[in-house]
Structure 1
Amino acid sequence: MNVLGQLGVAVAGLVLAGVLLFLNFWRALLYLFPHTVRVEPEAPADQMDLPDGLGPLAGQLQALGFTPLGSHEEKPLLQKATRSYDWAHAGERVFATLYEGADLFPRLYLLTPLASGGFVVTASYRRPALDVPGYRSGSLEDAAPERLLRAHVRRLEGLEPAGPEGFTWEGRVQTARAWYAGLGRKEIRRQNLQGLLWTAIALAIVASAFLGRRAG
């Protein structure tokens, strides 16, 4: 292969590596350092700026006895913050959180912190299924809030939820922080393993291009 051909291959490889890094480097960071996700309160219940697309689900939650708490933001490294809108059912000891996915499709998940420090999570969208000591996570895709709540309560059987006094806006923010710093790391790493692998491939392409250039 002549010099121009070699240069073209090297440039194409670097462009591919750049695209892979742009799409996946933040996921690799999230895999390696899940505790770095910043969780901050955003607005109390009476000031929540709920998107129109989440309104129907919010109404169904309130009909089930959930009380609005407020909103919070979760910001991974190198990414924009995701705003989440929170409710709580102190009687069932369940948090409900609504947010819009990257496709602006409504997302709902239920979360219960356990007295032991663990968590139970049930989502209405695809989510990794995990069942390890102190942590249960799963999903019922496209389930209505009522059905999701029934399933979540069943999954709490045999476990001791945290006390009802913790189901406040401040308690929800602290729960999110504890999730990222603790048992939630296993789920985060499962979700972002592919991003780590693609990042490693991209870095290998860059290294190969420079080493090949030096050898030439």
Structure 2
Amino acid sequence: MSLGSPAFGVLVELVLVLVALGMAVKLLLLNFWRAVLFLFPASVRVRPEAPAGQMELPAGLSPLAGQLRALGFVPLGSHVEQPRFQKGTSSYDFAHPGEHTFATLHFGPDGKPRLYLLTPLAPEGFVLTAGYRRPGFELPGRYRSGGVTEASTERLLRIHLERLQGLVPTEDFSWEGRLMAGQAWYQGAGQREIRRQNLQGLLWTVVALAIVAGLFLGGGRSV
């Protein structure tokens, strides 16, 4: 087969089509679930995993858990948050009813331990303060979220309580209350944040689908 032959040209075009198709499939595998999350943030399931007495805390989260206990937090149990087409992420919950605050431990995408504090508001809304980088977002009187990097657990709690000033927290800081708060976050106040975090996934999914459509409806016909 010579370089200038029609058969060679067809072979080169076929290889290019397969490479483009492989790239599109990879983009879809990485981003399709994020596109679904952008479009349907309330589809995330928040389900109980184990009550406090049966909660198996990973060793990597034990130092943060010890710091929470030293501040007066008590363990509630663990739960799983599961977007569509993804494995669930385990979260380990604590509460300090006197400070009207939940604390949740989990591992981030980078495998590092993470902690965030959460207070549901009455009649609706949340204050969320993370111990890692998280863009700030606020709806006056209803929602405040943001992150503080390199802060001790004690300082993070002080910051969270300062951000609660002028707002009315709810009174249910049981494990059931934590599960309800998690689901309510996905169904309400958290949806804008979810969409902002997953917009890039939606755009890459559109790009991947456009590549596939172009291959099958356009250039793919000449192969």
Deviation per CA, 1:47-105: give whole Å up to 9, x if none: 11000010010000011111111111111101111110000111110000001123321
**1:91 aligns to what SS in structure 2?**
helix
Q: Does 1:110 align with 2:99?
A: no
CA distance in 1 between partners of 2:28 and 2:79 (Å): 28
C-alpha contact 2:75 2:93 (8 A) present in aligned 1: yes
- What RMSD in Å do the two structures reach over aligned CA positions? 1.3
Corresponding position of 2:3: none
Amino acid at match of 1:82: T
In the alignment, structure 1 residue 24 sits paired with structure 2 residue 46: no
- Which one-letter code corresponds to 1:9 in the other structure? L
| 1:190-205 equivalence runs, <5 A | 190-205=196-211
Q: Which amino acid aligns with 2:204?
A: W
Find the aligned partners of 2:103 and 2:71 in 1 and give their Cα distance.
11
Match 1:206 to one of 200, 212, 215? 212
Q: Matched residue of 2:212: which SS?
A: helix
The number of aligned residues is: 214
Rg larger for: 2
Alignment map for 1:1-216 (pairs within 5 Å): 2-133=9-140, 134-163=142-171, 166-213=172-219, 215-216=221-222
Q: Match for 1:177: what amino acid?
A: Q
Structure 1: distance between partners of 2:11 and 2:220: 16
The separation in 2 between residues aligned to 1:111 and 1:204, in whole angstroms, is 40
Gaps of 5+ in 2: 1-5
Report the AA paired with residue 91 of structure 1. Answer: G
TM-score normalised by length of structure 1: 0.96
Are the equivalent residues in 2 in contact too, given 1:128–1:191 (CA < 8 A)?
no
TM-score (norm 2): 0.93
Deviation at 1:214, TM superposition (A): 5.7
Mapped partners of 1:126, 1:190: distance in 2: 15
After TM superposition, the structure 1 stretch with the greater mean CA deviation from structure 2, 6-15 or 59-68, is 6-15
Call closer, same or farther: CA 1:197–1:46 in 2, change over 3 Å. same
